């Protein structure tokens, strides 16, 4: 609920990362370069940190994206 402001692209990145897909596979699925994926993940982690969730929950979500 706190992350309801994420775009479809950001949700896809989060779900693919949480599913354990490799960066190469994620890039193929999203049709992006590795540097673009890195930037997407960086921005996604920033939004997760700013969502106002408890610190423990934020760390768990960020761990899924890394």
Walk along the chain (66 residues) and give the pLDDT tens digit of each residue.
567 778 889 989 999 999 999 999 999 999 999 999 999 999 999 988 888 888 998 999 899 898
DSSP annotation of 63: H
Give the HSE-up count for residue 37: Cα atoms under 13 Å, Cβ half-sphere: 21
Distance in angstroms (rounded) separating the CA atoms of residues 34 and 28: 10
Q: 44 and 14 in contact (C-beta within 8 Å)? A: yes
Q: Tell me the whole-structure pTM to 2 decimals.
A: 0.85
DSSP annotation of 47: H
CA distances from 15 to 32, 42 (A): 16, 15
């Amino acid at each position: 609920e706190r992350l309801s402001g994420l775009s479809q692209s950001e949700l896809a990145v989060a779900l693919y990362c949480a599913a354990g897909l490799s960066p190469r596979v994620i890039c193929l699925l999203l049709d992006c370069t590795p540097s673009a994926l890195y930037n997407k993940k960086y921005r996604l982690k920033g939004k997760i940190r700013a969502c106002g969730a408890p610190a423990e929950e934020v760390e768990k979500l960020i761990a899924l994206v890394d």
